[in-house]
Amino acid sequence: MKNTTTSLDETDEVKIKNPKALLTALCFVLMMSVMNGTMFNIAIPDIAKTFQLMPSEVSWVMTGYIMVYAVGALMYGKLADYYPFKTLITIGLTIFAIGSLFGFFAQSYLMVLIARVIQASGGAMLPALVFLAPIRYFPKERGKVLGIISSVMAFASGVGPIVGGFIAGFLDWKFLFLTSACIIIMLPFLRKNLPDEKKREAHVDFIGAFFVAGTIATLLIGITMESLISIGGMLFFLTCFFVRSKYVEYPFIPPHFFKNKKFVATIITSFFGVACLFGLMFTLPIMLRDVHELTTMQIGLVLFPGAICAAIIGQFGGRLVDSKGSRFVLFLSMMILSTGFFVISISTGLHPIVLSLSIILAYMCFPLVQASTADLLANILPNKETGVGMGVFNLMNFVAGSLSGAIIGKVLDIYSPEKSFNPFAQKGGSAAYSDVFLMFVFIVLGAYLFFRTFYENKKRSLEA
């Protein structure tokens, strides 16, 4: 009988039993993972009420989850260079389901926090492996599949608040944990359709991983809690990481990654693009509650058309990556994104229906930015380092989302102008929000100019 086991070193396309079934299962588990985060955003007030918590205390439901999730995404990406997907996805989904069930039966706030940390340590596997799957299993349709995956992320981000509001409103916030546990039903389908692969000899620098985790944790704590001590801790861990990477034989993140101008330019461009997109998702619900006094369900309905359009455009954008190239799609998406932010900056004081239509341009760029930058990285990285490279990509995206929310929250706390800097902005008590979206316009344009400056050189390389 022919041996169908493949090696992780192979550069040819790995044959899988049912590509459509595998892609469907991957998209389902990714959607559940993303929704798990956005659903709990809605439940934060209910959790605070249940355990009589201050806002700073209950915020750890999200902060703790994000810290573990961000570092975990990098760790799973690193492990994916050595271990079979089938093994990693089994471990990750099992841990995630255990954490979800533990949270459903939680009797104290501490148990809720422990449940969220367990969820994150398992769920972090999903973005790491799902973004690697197109590179490893669908190389001929990589852009198309990356577009589909990115559109699923955008759709889940938009529909999550609606589902979360419905479950928490009609049942109880603990049922959000039970809903998340349903992700385990996809494990048999994933194991059936994932190929058997051989394990490579592993060289994982766990001390280096600890320094990365310390850097991310202290950075997020420092921003969230305005702690200079934590910022100092971040600088300490970051220094330790770079020193160790210079002298250890197998560093957690190879130093040559940071010497590759194309890799650095793509990562930084993605960081600022995603920071603005997550900033949009963070700011809109606050603005709709503050300025327009909408309920949670109404806010979800305002965001829903954008999420639907993102899901549709993602598939088209993925095909465009394959046909026109990822640099062209990145240019197109950044130009549309900056235009979309400008339109939203003008529309902040208008009727919610107008706002719902105005956010479509920006929302539809979510899958385009992610698909194009992920495809660029796939072309830059050698096969044996795609795992850790995409892990860095996911890590930076999660950090971007966390920092943008924290920074924008602080800006809105202290910034309350009478008139927006945007001369076309409509009146309605929303000048601060208008200026935030106007700031996004300049950040996106600056990020793309940075990309053009450092990615492209005089000896133009072949189109990525």
**Rounded Cα–Cα distance for residues 76 and 79 (Å):** 5
pLDDT value for 334: 94
Residue 8 lies in a domain: no
pLDDT value for 56: 60
Give the domain-ending residue among 215, 230, 251. Answer: 251
Residues 239 and 141 in one domain: no
Residues 247 and 272 in one domain: no
**Residue 181: helix, strand or coil by DSSP?**
helix
Over residues 210-227, mean pLDDT: 81
Question: Is the pLDDT confidence value at 10 over 50?
Answer: no
Q: Please give the residue that has the higher pLDDT: either 186 or 395.
A: 186
Residues 45 and 93 in one domain: yes
Q: Are 135 and 298 in contact (CB under 8 A)?
A: no
pLDDT value for 144: 82
pLDDT tens for residues 449-459?
A: 999 888 765 44
Over residues 158-165, mean pLDDT: 78
Over residues 427-445, mean pLDDT: 86
Question: Is the pLDDT confidence value at 461 over 50?
Answer: no
Name the residue with tokens 């890590």. Answer: 395
Residues 115 and 130 in one domain: yes
**Rounded Cα–Cα distance for residues 240 and 252 (Å):** 12
Residues 347 and 442 in one domain: yes
Give the domain-ending residue among 251, 273, 288. Answer: 251
Residues 215 and 333 in one domain: no
Total number of residues shown for the chain = 464
**Rounded Cα–Cα distance for residues 229 and 227 (Å):** 5
pLDDT value for 428: 60
Identify the helix (H) or strand (E) that includes residue 288. Answer: helix 261-290
Q: What is the mean pLDDT of the chain?
A: 82
Beta strand 6-7 with 197-198: parallel, antiparallel or unpaired?
parallel
Per-residue tokens: 356: 């719902």
pLDDT band at 96 (very low <50, low <70, confident <90, very high): very high
Residue 72 lies in a domain: yes
Residues 246 and 142 in one domain: no
Residues 157 and 300 in one domain: yes
pLDDT tens for residues 352-376?
A: 898 889 989 898 888 888 888 888 8
**Residue 14: helix, strand or coil by DSSP?**
coil
Q: What is the CATH number of the domain that holds 159?
A: 1.20.1250.20
Nearest to 402 by CA among 282, 265, 284: 282
Over residues 325-349, mean pLDDT: 91
Question: Is the pLDDT confidence value at 43 over 50?
Answer: yes
pLDDT value for 11: 42
pLDDT tens for residues 12-41?
A: 455 677 788 888 888 888 888 888 877 877
Residue 12 lies in a domain: no
Residues 340 and 429 in one domain: yes
Residue 184 lies in a domain: yes
Report how many domains make up the chain. 2
Q: Please give the residue that has the higher pLDDT: either 111 or 254.
A: 111
pLDDT band at 429 (very low <50, low <70, confident <90, very high): low
Residues 357 and 429 in one domain: yes
Question: Is the pLDDT confidence value at 206 over 90?
Answer: no
Beta strand residue intervals within 188-305, DSSP E: 197-198
Residues 81 and 176 in one domain: yes
2 backbone dihedrals φ, ψ, rounded to 5°: -70, 135
pLDDT value for 316: 79
Domain of 231 in residue numbering reads as: 205-251
Residue 21 lies in a domain: yes
Question: Is the pLDDT confidence value at 291 over 50?
Answer: yes
Residue 200 lies in a domain: no
**Rounded Cα–Cα distance for residues 217 and 63 (Å):** 9
**Rounded Cα–Cα distance for residues 7 and 84 (Å):** 9
Please give the full DSSP string across 40-98, using - where no structure is assigned. Answer: HHHHHHHHHHHHT--HHHHTHHHHHHHHHHHHHHHHHHHHTTTS-HHHHHHHHHHHHHH
pLDDT value for 440: 94
Residue 4 lies in a domain: no
Query: Which residues sit opposite 6 in a β-bridge?
Result: 197
